[in-house]
Amino acid sequence: MSEQWDLEPPLVEPGFSDIPLLPTPTASDAVRGPDYAKADREGAGGDDLVTTVSRLFDRDRAQRLFKTPTANLGSNGAAQHPDKRRAGGHGPNLDDEVSFLLPVDPDIAEEQPGAFHSPPEWWAEYGPAVRRWETLMGTPAPIPVEFGPRGGRRLAAVFGEWLMGLPRGWVTHIPGLNRARQLKAVGNGVVSRQAFTAYLHMINHKGDQDGKAGRDL
């Protein structure tokens, strides 16, 4: 004879429905940033997931980060002010940020041999991020800009090399590589510390799986 169970409906604690929940992810979350004005627009439905998560962080304390170097920086034309680039429907690139947003003057800027950090007055809002990377790298950042053949400011390839975590000259001291080819090599590369961490994780994960398989036999 089968057992009989007296089941009762679960009890819901008072106030349970008042617990704040994260919005459901949507397909468009992958292609847009936070919309802080959405909650105030009638009929917009409140904050989406991207905006809700972004509100968890204090924007006034967020560190400004440089764009990642891309392979086409050396052949993409002259830098433009980030505002002009955005007005044309595109995001600024690293060359735009370095050329227009940094106060460093390549005519008078000098690297200090033996210094652990580069001069803070070079970096404006990017200072905290640069200082952190200098600490992790163990080397000061090089002068980020140079003057091109026509006298305009442009990204120095050696700075892109440093941003990617490469030793000085790893790309920029290879004979026969002009600036465009140097930036292409830098932009096509990976941050070596990230790659090492990823491979280490995969190796350890495989080891864990092999060990588990052995125990299951």
How many whole angstroms separate alpha carbon 205 and alpha carbon 21? 33
Q: Rg of the chain over CA atoms, in angstroms?
A: 25
How many whole angstroms separate alpha carbon 46 and alpha carbon 48? 7
HSE-CB at 95 with a 13 A cutoff on CA atoms is 25
**What is the per-residue pLDDT for 168?**
94
pTM attached to this predicted model:
0.67
Please report, for residues 43, 101, 115, 129, the alpha-carbon distance to residue 65 in angstroms, rounded to integers and kept in the order given: 34, 12, 22, 6
Q: How would you write the pLDDT of the chain (217 residues) with one tens digit per residue? A: 555 666 566 555 555 455 567 888 888 887 777 887 777 777 777 888 888 877 776 555 556 899 999 999 988 889 999 999 989 888 899 999 999 999 999 999 999 888 999 999 999 999 999 999 999 899 999 999 999 998 999 999 999 999 999 999 999 999 999 999 999 999 999 888 888 888 888 888 766 665 555 555 5
How many whole angstroms separate alpha carbon 209 and alpha carbon 215? 10
As given in the structure block, the two tokens for residue 66 are 């440089």
- % helix, strand, coil for the chain, step of 5: 45, 5, 55
**What is the per-residue pLDDT for 11?**
58
Q: Cβ–Cβ contacts within 10 Å for residue 51, how many?
A: 19
b/e burial code for range 167-183 (CB count within 10 A of at least 16 → b): eeebbbeeeeeebeebb
In the DSSP assignment, the letter for residue 31 is G
Residues 6+ apart with CB under 8 A from 183: 69, 71, 73, 74, 155, 157, 160
